[in-house]
Chain A
Amino acid sequence: MIDSASIPQDKETQQLEQTWGSPPGFFAWFTWVNQKNIGMRFIVTGFVFFILGVVLALLMRIQLAVPENNFMDPETYNQVFSMHGITMMFLFAVPVMEGIAVYIIPLMLGTRDMTFPRLNAFGYYIYLIAGVMMYAALFLKIAPDAGWFSYPPLAGAAFSPGLGLDFYTTVITFMEISALVAAIELIATIFKCKVPGMSLNRMPIFVWSILVMSFMIVFALPPLVIASLMLALDRMAGMHFFTAASGDPVLWQHLFWFFGHPEVYIIFIPALGMISSIIITFTQRPIFGYIPIVLSIVAIGFIGFGLWVHHMFTAGLPQLGSNFFTASSAMIAIPSGVQIFCWIATLWGSKPKLDTPLLHVLGFFLIFIIGGLSGVMVASVPFDLQAHDTYFVVAHFHYVLVGGAVFPLLGGLYYWYPKFTGRMMSERLGKAAFWITFAGFNLTFFPMHKLGLDGMPRRVYTYIDGLGWNEANLFISISSVVLAIGFMLTLLNVLISLRRGIIAKDNPWNADTLEWATSSPPPSYNFRHIRTVDSRYPLWSGTGGLEQNPVVTGIRSDRREILLTSILESQPESRQPLPGPSPWPFWLAVAVAITFAGMMIHLAIPLLGFLLCFVAIAGWVWPKQVEAAK
């Protein structure tokens, strides 16, 4: 295969660059809509919030290092642990997964952009504004302090009268618009923008995982949006949806966990796709069990909606129903098991090169299996009655989320970094970072299982001496520093390699998917020639690989245009012009933020907000003379 850097710049290349390039300048920055720009913003912003979340976790570990510590008062601690959860679940995990999807998916599909580029930009600004507002609240010490789950009545106006929970209800409500628009856009892009020849059964597994994630977002987030809006109205307009007097506090728990449990899989499923991509590339062979793996991912997507009650086993619900949820929670182990053994079958005897991305996948195996097994344990009603809301559960879900999502994500970061930046990350530093992170993680979270069984509840700002928890807590606090150092080394690697990394070839890992068929980093138009695809592993198929395949012609290069294809067979259907840079997505995001956050100040402000939204939408869809002339 020829490196695209060696292709001479022809006239069409220049025109494509002119058409698709993002305009320079500070103010123009707010008009960018290119999928790679937006994807990278999601990824960078997501990791910034991850660092903040880690800092909050370290603050908690300082407080809990010794009994009766006075490092933080209970008010601060409660804000810190609430913001740690909100950050990791809402501001880091989902956006960063979406960011990688927004960046990689169009490249994997062989298209030039996503279906709704301006919507994409809008989603990013919503997310950014929401995140900044939450952290502004934290720095002003008025952050939410009732946990990321904010159970009423504690989260209601009577017991949390301050602004903190108002931030939670209003910001969470509109922040989820970001995830929803990204999901809708990913679904539309995956269904309609696959390159000709990439029928559904040839789609890379990573694309399948993003498709399932997006559908889960579409079904899981509306209950949260509605519930947090109801809670906002409870607090601000005295609606009594969730008060004990005339509403039902347990209703919130149902709505929240009907979102909250699928949320875990929304985070975890893209990671599964990353693992499959990395395993295929590093074993240099087609994956065993493409169809079972895809069906497993789809099955997890469905079963993930039938487990939410296992967060509520202690709430005094009828027992027969609870046992049903034990069974459904256990059932999810089967599609997970199928995937794990498909990966083992693929890895078996394959002499993989143990580079950093694959190391993270191997780390995933140990950590995620432990998390999965402890997950089956807490799915048992009687055991959960002991383990629920203790450090055992803290250990469990960190094993699942850090092992199941963050390790593959870091693997994916090392894997796609050359595509993102055009440079390789340092292998030596990467391996050191991996082992320190891996050791730090296990040393931090494994003892928490024991601590939970010894009776230490979650979400306590301190504990008294003499309960036998002191040594474990001190050990965990020290280990958490090791874990943080591991993360810091990866961050350092990212920053150093940006300047000093070895220049990456187009396809440094000899991978199979289309994102590696263009330069690193990709040009603004993604592909100079869009080549049709005739297998699941387009870059490996045939003798000459992709270069032998016919090129898609007839797509204009003097305006932003993509090819739409049919869902199943990926037959070309039509050309679709796409909108270019615009400041209006930014202004609409501002207007939406005013609409929702304005509720905190006065219930009339949303009315003004609606007006502003109307203006912004009008500006967004206002036809331009240039476009009309064309």
Chain B
Amino acid sequence: MSLPWRKKLNFSMAFHCQLPITVFLALPAHANQSALQPAGPLAAAIANLFWGMMIGGGLILTAVLAMLTIGLLKARRTAKPRHLTFIQSRNLVIISGVVIPSIILTVFVVSSAAVNRDIVAPMPKNALTVKVTGHQWWWEVNYLDTEGKYIARTANEIRIPVGKPVRISLESSDVIHSFWIPKLNGKTDMIPGKTNLTWVQADKPGSYRGQCTEFCGKQHAKMAFVVDAVPEEEFETWLRQQGQPAREPMTEKEAQGKQVFLGSSCVMCHAIRGTSALASVAPDLTHIGSRKTLAAGSMENMPGTLASWILSPQSFKPGSHMPATALTGEDLGNLVEYLLSLE
């Protein structure tokens, strides 16, 4: 996949200044993350349960408020109060306060447990496993084969085959995070020292946004990711490609960009497989050119945003563990060119 329009941009002008141009992420319409617009069987089951409870709850609320109103208006035209007799009051309390709630709650508990059983049902043995590790404030994604061996690594983007259950194994490297893709399934916490399991399945191809839902520090708000559900063949091709080391620079600019990368502080934290940069503190950049977003789903991945991000991460994501990197316009342009070529 090539994006010729990227190359037309002239970097040197825009990035001589140290302060970045503010480029906010404009999300496409499908980006909403509503739990009530499910795109997979698990979220759909929960959404149905919600609507059932919502209707039941609405009826209960209406009934109780109606009784209260009728009771209050009962004696509005009479001079004297018209109290209920003891027997009437007793029956009211026993029937509406004990019997009916007991029946409703029994139905509720059983249907909740039934949906729960479907959600935690054991996975098929041969299902694909994606190991997601939470970091302050990004997601490390490792693909494992059926024997648990490493296939490929990426960050902040998970690609899954449409219509297939995918096992997600959740860990954390620092504090507690929580993994949530509202359109696909409920959330599961990522707890350091433990491995939690969940699974997702997307019924339609598409892009589903997820977000961290356990408060995890300064940038909890900007710890998002995207799940892309694609047809199976496309997924297989993608996975094979992600497992490959980075492609070699093709142009002079890209080659210079690689030198800038290897010669700067980037290599202290980031890895580009196939080069000497092998650190694992920060997202693996081997195929960063193929990703849609930067900074854990908080900005679109484009030359302008990438350059701004490298120059001054703190102005987009204050508190982020990525320090600012001072580069000349030319170096920055080459670096961005190189990084975006890594597809």
Contact for A373 among B57, B82, B214, B217, CB less than 8 A: B57
The reply to whether B178 and A337 form a contact with Cβ atoms under 8 Å apart is no
Which residues of chain A are near B72, meaning CB under 8 Å?
Answer: 347-348, 352
Which residues of chain A are near B89, meaning CB under 8 Å?
Answer: 288-289, 342, 345-346, 348
Which residues of chain A are near B20, meaning CB under 8 Å?
Answer: none
Which of A70-78, A116-124, A168-176 lies at the interface? A70-78
A residues 335-360 near B (Cβ < 8 Å) are: 337-342, 344-352
CB-nearest residue of chain A to B29: A466
Known A389-B213, A457-B213, A464-B298: A323·B113 in contact at CB below 8 Å: yes
Chain A residues within 8 Å of B, Cβ to Cβ? 68, 73-75, 78, 146-147, 151, 153-154, 159-160, 244-245, 248-250, 283, 285, 288-289, 292, 314-316, 319, 322-323, 326-327, 330-331, 333-334, 337-342, 344-352, 362, 365-366, 369-370, 373-374, 376-377, 379-390, 453-455, 457-468
Which of B95-103, B249-257, B333-341 lies at the interface? B95-103
Which residues of chain B are near A453, meaning CB under 8 Å?
Answer: 34-36, 50
Known A146-B215, A382-B112: A250·B68 in contact at CB below 8 Å: no
Contact for A337 among B68, B90, B97, B318, CB less than 8 A: B97
> With an 8 A cutoff between CB atoms, is B93 at the interface?
yes
Most buried by B among A244, A344, A382, A384: A382
How many residue pairs at the A-B interface have CB separations less than 8 Å? 279
B residues 130-187 near A (Cβ < 8 Å) are: 136, 170, 172, 174-176, 178, 180, 182, 185-187
The reply to whether B116 and A323 form a contact with Cβ atoms under 8 Å apart is yes
> With an 8 A cutoff between CB atoms, is B67 at the interface?
yes
B residues 270-314 near A (Cβ < 8 Å) are: 298
The reply to whether A382 and B115 form a contact with Cβ atoms under 8 Å apart is yes
Contact for A315 among B25, B105, B191, B216, CB less than 8 A: B191
> With an 8 A cutoff between CB atoms, is B124 at the interface?
no
- Closest 8 pairs between A and B when the two form their complex, measured CB to CB: A385-B186, A466-B27, A455-B33, A244-B192, A349-B82, A244-B193, A460-B221, A348-B71
The reply to whether B188 and A377 form a contact with Cβ atoms under 8 Å apart is no
Known A323-B112, A334-B102, A457-B211: A385·B221 in contact at CB below 8 Å: no
The reply to whether B116 and A334 form a contact with Cβ atoms under 8 Å apart is no
Most buried by A among B64, B93, B170: B93
The reply to whether B65 and A338 form a contact with Cβ atoms under 8 Å apart is no
Given contacts A244-B172, A314-B186, A382-B115, 8 further A-B contacts (CB under 8 A): A154-B217, A159-B175, A285-B81, A344-B92, A346-B89, A454-B35, A454-B36, A457-B220
- For this complex, 28 residue pairs linking A to B, each with C-beta atoms less than 8 Å apart, are A68-B24, A159-B175, A250-B191, A288-B84, A315-B196, A323-B112, A327-B109, A345-B93, A346-B89, A347-B72, A351-B76, A362-B68, A369-B60, A376-B108, A380-B112, A381-B112, A383-B50, A385-B119, A385-B185, A386-B50, A455-B209, A457-B211, A461-B221, A464-B27, A464-B222, A465-B24, A465-B27, A468-B32
CB-nearest residue of chain B to A389: B213
The reply to whether A330 and B108 form a contact with Cβ atoms under 8 Å apart is yes
Report the minimal beta-carbon distance from B133 to chain A, rounded to whole angstroms.
Answer: 13
CB-nearest residue of chain A to B173: A244
Contact for B32 among A379, A385, A454, A459, CB less than 8 A: A454
Chain B residues within 8 Å of A, Cβ to Cβ? 24-28, 31-36, 43, 45-46, 49-50, 53-54, 57, 60-61, 64-65, 67-68, 71-72, 74-76, 78, 80-84, 86, 88-90, 92-93, 96-98, 101-102, 105, 108-109, 112-113, 115-117, 119-120, 136, 170, 172, 174-176, 178, 180, 182, 185-189, 191-194, 196-197, 209, 211-222, 224, 298, 318-319
Which residues of chain A are near B76, meaning CB under 8 Å?
Answer: 351
Which residues of chain A are near B88, meaning CB under 8 Å?
Answer: 345
Contact for A385 among B27, B34, B82, B187, CB less than 8 A: B187
The reply to whether A455 and B50 form a contact with Cβ atoms under 8 Å apart is no
Contact for B178 among A250, A289, A314, A341, CB less than 8 A: A314
Main SS class of interface, A: helix
Which residues of chain B are near A362, meaning CB under 8 Å?
Answer: 68
- Docked Cα-Cα span, A259 to B149, in Å, equals 43
The reply to whether A344 and B215 form a contact with Cβ atoms under 8 Å apart is no
Report the minimal beta-carbon distance from B300 to chain A, rounded to whole angstroms.
Answer: 10
The reply to whether B221 and A462 form a contact with Cβ atoms under 8 Å apart is yes
- Docked Cα-Cα span, A322 to B83, in Å, equals 44
- Docked Cα-Cα span, A373 to B108, in Å, equals 12
- Docked Cα-Cα span, A238 to B170, in Å, equals 27
CB-nearest residue of chain B to A455: B33
CB-nearest residue of chain B to A293: B93
CB-nearest residue of chain B to A379: B112
Report the minimal beta-carbon distance from A368 to chain B, rounded to whole angstroms.
Answer: 10
The reply to whether A389 and B32 form a contact with Cβ atoms under 8 Å apart is no
Contact for A458 among B64, B86, B215, CB less than 8 A: B215
Which residues of chain A are near B214, meaning CB under 8 Å?
Answer: 151, 314, 389
CB-nearest residue of chain B to A377: B53
Contact for B93 among A292, A316, A347, A459, CB less than 8 A: A292
Known A334-B97, A349-B82: A74·B218 in contact at CB below 8 Å: yes
CB-nearest residue of chain A to B76: A351
Known A385-B46, A388-B187, A461-B221: A374·B97 in contact at CB below 8 Å: no
- Docked Cα-Cα span, A578 to B182, in Å, equals 61
The reply to whether A386 and B218 form a contact with Cβ atoms under 8 Å apart is no
The reply to whether A349 and B49 form a contact with Cβ atoms under 8 Å apart is no
CB-nearest residue of chain A to B36: A453
Most buried by B among A75, A327, A339: A327
The reply to whether A153 and B192 form a contact with Cβ atoms under 8 Å apart is yes
The reply to whether B24 and A464 form a contact with Cβ atoms under 8 Å apart is yes
Which residues of chain A are near B215, meaning CB under 8 Å?
Answer: 146-147, 151, 154, 389, 458-459
- Docked Cα-Cα span, A46 to B276, in Å, equals 61
The reply to whether B67 and A386 form a contact with Cβ atoms under 8 Å apart is no
The reply to whether A373 and B61 form a contact with Cβ atoms under 8 Å apart is yes
Report the minimal beta-carbon distance from B89 to chain A, rounded to whole angstroms.
Answer: 4
